[in-house]
Structures are given as structure tokens and as C-alpha cells.
Chains A and B, each alone.
Chain A
Amino acid sequence: MLGYVIPICLAIIGLALALTLARLFKGPDLPDRILALDTLYINAIALLVLFGIWLGSDLYFEAALLIAVMGFVGTVAVAKYLLRGDIIE
């Protein structure tokens, strides 16, 4: 059963990534693009966890956790740069 469901889920998340990417290109303003990047990394986490289940491997969890940490730091850094024109005061 999982052999059928997982490819479907992969396709759904792929579609979600494509929609996010479209917003990233369309803009229209900088905060929109940052928000799109934020969503992109969260969807990437979902994709990695799904991939880990498909391959039956624990290793992908670590990658997902790292992306969660780095993505958050990245979003906050860029948002702060937009806010103050400076990241570390």
C-alpha cells in the first residue's frame, strides 16, 4: 500500500514546491520572496521526511533537522536585513 501512496505524496509535495517557486519568481515585493523561501524550506523538510520513509532510512532525519535550523536562521537574517539594513548590530 505504501508503495502506491508515497509516490502520490511525492507528486503532491512537488506541486506545492512548484507553486512556491512561482511565487518566488513573481514577487512582487521582497517580503513575498522571503516568505516563499521560508515555505520552500519547510516543504523541503516534509519532502526529506517522506523520502526517508520511502527508503526506510533514518539518515534523512538528520538532514531534515539541519535544514530546519539553517532555514530559520536564514529567514530571520534576511528579514532583519530588510528591517534594519544590518544583520548584527
Chain B
Amino acid sequence: MNEWIEGIVALFLLLGSLFALVGALGLYRLPDFFMRLHGPTKATTLGVGGMVIASMIYFGARDQGLSLHELLITLFLFITAPVSAHMLAKAALQQKLRLHEKTRGRPWEQ
């Protein structure tokens, strides 16, 4: 396989896995639930996105053709990630989880 293509694939793989790590790090160290909600739903979506782009380039170059079916994973995750984030946020609001003391504004009563 071409050196250049291998380099690009490696770049996207590293980018994707680093974003997955940042998302997990956010989940681990941010102080309250609503702040933790931000890390994974974003960084992990792009993390998988990077992996998927790398996979598309790799299989496309290997088989000398177009390999687009990995796009389905990204498409599906982009549609579902906000929905599950919304459901979790609603559940957390209803459970009246403790908020970080610096949070401004209050959610309304459920």
C-alpha cells in the first residue's frame, strides 16, 4: 500500500483514539453529572468518526474500490447520541442530582 495513504490512515486512527481518550477522561474527572454528560457525547462521537474515516480510506485503498458502509455507523451515532443524552439529562433532572455549586441558573420543576 502507498506510504502516503498509510500515513493518513495512521493519522486518523491516532486522532480518533485520542478523542475517545479525552471523552473518557472527561467522564472520569469532571465534577457533576451534567458536566460529565458533555465529555462522552461529543468526544466519543468524533472518536468513532475518526476511526470510521480511517477504515473507509484503508479498505477503499486495499480493495481498489469505494468502501462507504462504515458511514452507516457514524450516521447512526450522530442521530442517536443526542437522543440518549437528552434521555439521560431528563432522568437526571427528575432524580434531582446534586449540581456543582458554581452552576448558574436552575432547571425548572419536573
Whether both chains belong to one complex is answered with yes
What residues make up the interface of B, taking CB atoms closer than 8 Å to A? 3, 6-7, 9-10, 13-14, 16-18, 20-21, 23-25, 27-28, 33, 36-37, 40, 44-45, 47-48, 51-52, 54-55, 58-59, 62, 69-70, 72-73, 76-77, 80, 83-84, 87-88, 90-92, 94-95, 97
Across the two chains, which residue of chain A brings its CB closest to B62?
A: A56
Beyond A19-B27, A53-B58, A83-B90, is A46–B37 a contact (Cβ under 8 Å)? no
The interface size bin for chain A is: 35 or more
Beyond A35-B36, A39-B40, is A83–B84 a contact (Cβ under 8 Å)? no
Across the two chains, which residue of chain A brings its CB closest to B91?
A: A82
Is A31 in contact with B27, judged by CB distance below 8 angstroms?
no
Residues of B contacting A8 with CB < 8 Å? 14, 17
Give the residues from 1 to 58 in chain A that come closer than 8 angstroms, CB to CB, to chain B.
1-2, 5-6, 8-9, 12-13, 15-17, 19-20, 22-23, 29-32, 34-36, 38-39, 42-43, 45-46, 49-50, 52-53, 56, 58
